[in-house]
Structure 1
Amino acid sequence: MKEDKKIKKLPKWIKIVLGIFLAIILAIAALSTYGYYTVNNIVNKAEKIELKEEELGVVDEEELKQYDDYTEIVNIALFGIDSTDSTSGRSDSIIVATLDSIHNKLKLTSFMRDSYVNISSYGYDKLNHAYAYGGANLAINTLNTNFGLNITDFVAVDFASLPKIIDSFGGIDLTIREDEIQYINQYISNINSIDGTNSPLITTPGVHHVDGAQALAYSRIRYTSGGDFERTERQRAVLTALFNKALNVPATEYLDVISNLVQYVTTNLDTNEILKLATKIGSMGLNGVTVEQQRFPIDGYCEGAMIDGVYYLTFDATATRTQVMNYIFNDQLPQ
């Protein structure tokens, strides 16, 4: 079914959580030399939400024991929320960031927002509705129970923060294709109109150094031939670009950058937990970390379907659960 390509003037846009979490962790790794209280004061600027561990649906440890080094794998849910407070609305960007110290990788795994999944107490619905129904608790539970994961932590960012986050790093480099120019310019114009910005349009394909509004526009594109599948690739491209930019922030600027960024975050992580993650990433050797991207469900195991007049992405639940677990816990690429 073809989607309406008209750009509405005041929509609640599809949002993307970016590398703000990764940037924060990396920055705090450097900030730790300033002392606990300096770090704590900065971290406390983030909005905190307590999770109920008994409601997170973490996969049974007996199932995880098939993976010898599963205790060395850290998974954190990253949500991009279509509201301005990061506590409600649908999670239209759903990425699991995996710190894999065994293989020295940072894995960014996107889950398709239209995936037809079982949401506890609500039955089958789109994956991105879980956050709207029950916030981070239910969204994490839905990822864990459907895909065999052990997520207990999350970071959420609302769409309004994206341009500010990107601009705080001085922009990022993105490769824009010819078939993307029409749509990115529609979105840039729309963002300029709503936010009162004046970001320039893209006139030629190729590598561009984009500002925050342009990066947000790029992450929204979904009407090229690849549809929503390609959109998740664009989101990961923005996330990777921001991660790489964070690696090169001068040490003298860490305090200012992290203090500015953390205000856009909603998370359950406290200072001690973030410092532990910073230490873990530091032990992996920052510049030697491989950033790897993947998307589930994968081609060949999913298809679009109309159910009661609504479009869903249906998929082979058993095969996909196995593929996700093998990839995240055993570094085995899906077949």
Structure 2
Amino acid sequence: MSRVEKNNKKKKTKSLFFKISITIISIIALLIAIGIGTFYSIFNKIDNVALNKENLGVTSKEELEVYDNYKKIKNIALFGIDSADGVGRSDSMMIATVDSVHDKLKITSLMRDSYVNIEGYGYDKLNHAYAFGGPELSIKTINQTFGLNIEDFVTVDFASLPRIIDILGGLELDITSEELEYINGYIDDINSKDGTYSPHITYAGPQLVDGVQALAYSRIRYTTGGDYERTRRHRTVLEGLFNKALTVSPTQYPTIINEILPYVKTNLGATDILSLATKVATMGGGTLEQDRFPRDGYGQGEMIDGVYYLVFDEAATKQQIMDYIFDDK
């Protein structure tokens, strides 16, 4: 995303952030209304996974102290896995940053084909770290490669997407003519495996899609732009899902929560989540921003031993991510 695009994004998301804050406050109010005990019983549906925080490769205090307020910035790894592939790779990798210094929420996307050093396995694709060692090794690889201090994660199985999207009434997507060439094959594959009957997409352009169609869209691999475009489609679906959730009546929250929690893994406890929600809700006047790394011009695709990788300038990218997350540059 260029600086011009980022500046435009800042202008557009002021009101969105306000809506996010109000929505989170509403959710907290709903939890209080239904009773904290009920919330904790619902929360127990989450697969809670402990992490060894001594084995997360957190960047040294000395290196982070260059950024005066780094302790006030919370980073959480977000992993999207697709259980349909049967191998446990993280198909989508993002960092959610709660920046109370600059009053911002940031979503940082990482390219899954990035050629990185995975401890114990050598250089490989970034998304393979999750398959090799789950969230712990994946977080360690991200911290060691990009100079971060992530200690928490949330993993969501893309298998939950169709159900959630259908509950919300579908998503608006602008499908290109090139994406139209591939999407129906993915729809057929999902229908066959899941016993669903979602129809084909018949034309390019803006349209309302159902859950299966949205998942098929997010799985498209082979359009011009390759992995760059695939990560963009992931962000488009997630952003559309988030925006649609803002319009949902609070009475639907329990249904949505019940539907999605069984597909979630995290090391965060219920109290941690409520604390984060409260922190975000108090960040009035902030913005929601997105960026993707490696940035354009700092990496290129290469075939190594017959496998495609995104080889990038590690030193420059590490500095860019640290500056973006900790110093808002």
Normalized against structure 2, the TM-score is what?
Answer: 0.87
Q: Which residue of 2 aligns with 1:38?
A: 38
**1:130: how far off?**
0.6
Which amino acid counterpart does residue 304 of structure 1 have in structure 2?
Answer: G
Q: Which residue of 2 aligns with 1:227?
A: 226
**Aligned-partner Cα distance in 2 for 1:93–1:44:** 25
Bigger helix fraction: 2
The 3 A distance-change label for structure 1 pair 101 and 29 is: farther
The gaps in structure 1 that reach 5 residues or longer are 1-21
**Aligned-partner Cα distance in 2 for 1:145–1:191:** 36
1:206-255 per-position Cα deviation (integer Å, ceiling 9, x unaligned): 22121110111111112221111111011011111111122222122222
Q: Which residue of 2 aligns with 1:239?
A: 238
Say if 2:299 is the partner of 1:311: no
SS in 2 for 1:97: strand
Which amino acid counterpart does residue 267 of structure 2 have in structure 1?
Answer: N
CA contact (8 A) 2:112 2:125 kept: yes
**Aligned-partner Cα distance in 1 for 2:240–2:158:** 18
**1:129: how far off?**
0.9
SS in 2 for 1:67: coil
Which amino acid counterpart does residue 107 of structure 1 have in structure 2?
Answer: K
The 3 A distance-change label for structure 1 pair 265 and 84 is: farther
1:259-311 per-position Cα deviation (integer Å, ceiling 9, x unaligned): 222121111111111111111121124xx653322111112111112222222
**Aligned-partner Cα distance in 2 for 1:109–1:60:** 21
1:315-335 per-position Cα deviation (integer Å, ceiling 9, x unaligned): 111000001111111221xxx
Q: Which residue of 2 aligns with 1:296?
A: 293
- Between the two proteins, what is the percent identity of the paired residues? 60
**1:154: how far off?**
0.8
Q: What RMSD in Å do the two structures reach over aligned CA positions? A: 2.2
**Aligned-partner Cα distance in 2 for 1:133–1:241:** 31
The 3 A distance-change label for structure 1 pair 184 and 290 is: farther
Which amino acid counterpart does residue 73 of structure 2 have in structure 1?
Answer: I
Q: Which residue of 2 aligns with 1:59?
A: 59
Which 10-residue stretch deviates more, 96-105 or 129-138?
96-105
CA contact (8 A) 2:27 2:250 kept: no
Which amino acid counterpart does residue 317 of structure 2 have in structure 1?
Answer: T
Q: Which residue of 2 aligns with 1:216?
A: 215
Say if 2:94 is the partner of 1:95: yes
CA contact (8 A) 1:28 1:39 kept: no
**Aligned-partner Cα distance in 2 for 1:101–1:235:** 26
**Aligned-partner Cα distance in 1 for 2:233–2:66:** 33
Q: Which residue of 2 aligns with 1:119?
A: 118
Alignment: residue pair count: 307
Say if 2:329 is the partner of 1:326: no
**Aligned-partner Cα distance in 2 for 1:315–1:85:** 26
